[in-house]
A and B are shown apart, each in its own frame.
Chain A
């Protein structure tokens, strides 16, 4: 028995058909970068790319692509062509990403936890907010050594040390003096977990009531264990959001991040045609484009700046540019081999 079921849900949609095997195409609008490769590879012209520029820039409640379920033959080419896995195609519940007969892009991004020093530069730079770095900092008291004591008989409880202490280690219990107890404070204490033995309190005390010494330089190698200074952590890349742009690899100071991109190519920007509308800056999933600032007034700079180090050659910028000032050339597509000639031709057709 052959039965067809179709279902279309808000922005994300599913197209399902059941025959001998159940084939299902699911779309994640949040992951979609609006590159339009799916539209180009679809053999039956079932996919239409929306007005991506306006949708992204005005945060319109509209899906970036539209699939005509009556045309879709559920072949899965769009899913294989999608460079960011926004289209997932499954046969009997299993993703074709796991099937060797279908070609796959050769692309990856990983952070080596052995090398990573958890500086979080990649987390800050990632244009897709796909990276999370969790780190556990050392305890401050284990990195310093010294002695401190307040002579409470000499102390006049002026509060100068409490106000000066950069580590907030000194607390004075202030009170209002009464005739029965004419003192301004009931107690003063140093929290040695917080104290870094900087000796500012000692130097600023007007009555020399503080005895303190820092041992870090002279006895640090005996008092302190270097293992206590180690920063522990772990890194996580959200594979759904990652577009393999290479920002993490470029910004990492210790070469812990490695990115393999699926495409090679070139971007050509016609600075004369550009009218600085900023559509490319807003649409680019990799933050390749920015507006350059002149160093001094009167200096003429390029209208729009690009750094191809971060480019994945998806072509989204070329699609949205209203004045055709951008040309994206794909010279190389890296994918796993397939026996099917038509699939191979389709993958090769991505080269321009």
Chain B
């Protein structure tokens, strides 16, 4: 399985960024709803849409997909 994004669907809400447990362990401030301080995280919102930075760190837990309101991020 692979992490995929569809930027056309993304509203830039950032829920996946703060829900991702790996993101939280890399950049703890995202757990509080802040943007990540580092590009080491799996995904971030850039220019209003989601962008994958380090998808290789993904452990495929499916949390981002569960929370995304617009099917903009998923595992396939």
Check A53–B62 contact: CB distance below 8 A: yes
Q: Which residue of A lies closest to B25 (CB)?
A: A323
Q: Which residue of A lies closest to B57 (CB)?
A: A322
CA distance A322 to B3 in the complex (A): 14
| Residues in A46-81 with C-beta less than 8 Å from chain B | 50-51, 53-58, 60, 62
| Residues in A232-291 with C-beta less than 8 Å from chain B | 273, 275-279
Count contacts on A: residues with CB < 8 A to the other chain. Answer: 20
Contact with B along A291-326 (1 / 0, CB 8 A): 000000000000000000000000000001111000
Inside 8 A of B59's CB, which chain A residues have their CB? 53, 320, 322
Contact with A along B16-54 (1 / 0, CB 8 A): 000111101100000100000000000000000000000
Q: Which residue of A lies closest to B24 (CB)?
A: A275
Q: Is the interface of A mostly helix, strand, loop or mixed?
A: loop
Given A51-B1, A322-B61, verify A57-B66 contact (CB < 8 Å): yes
Check B25–A279 contact: CB distance below 8 A: no
Check A275–B25 contact: CB distance below 8 A: yes
Measured as residues with beta carbon below 8 angstroms from the partner, the interface class of chain B is 10 to 19
Number of A-B contacts (CB under 8 A): 59
Residue in A53, A58, A60, A277 with the greatest tally of chain B CB atoms within 10 Å:
A277
Check B19–A277 contact: CB distance below 8 A: yes
CA distance A51 to B65 in the complex (A): 14
Given A277-B61, A322-B61, verify A54-B21 contact (CB < 8 Å): no
Given A60-B1, A60-B75, verify A279-B22 contact (CB < 8 Å): no
Check B65–A322 contact: CB distance below 8 A: no
CA distance A51 to B24 in the complex (A): 20
Residue in B25, B61, B75 with the greatest tally of chain A CB atoms within 10 Å:
B61
**Chain A nearest CB: distance from B62 CB in Å?**
4
Inside 8 A of A55's CB, which chain B residues have their CB? 1
> Which listed residue (A58, A273, A277) contacts B75, Cβ 8 A?
A58
Interface residues of B (CB under 8 A from A): 1, 19-22, 24-25, 31, 59-63, 65-66, 74-75
Interface residues of A (CB under 8 A from B): 50-51, 53-58, 60, 62, 273, 275-279, 320-323
7 A–B contacts from the bound complex (CB under 8 Å): A50-B1, A51-B1, A57-B61, A275-B24, A277-B21, A322-B59, A322-B61
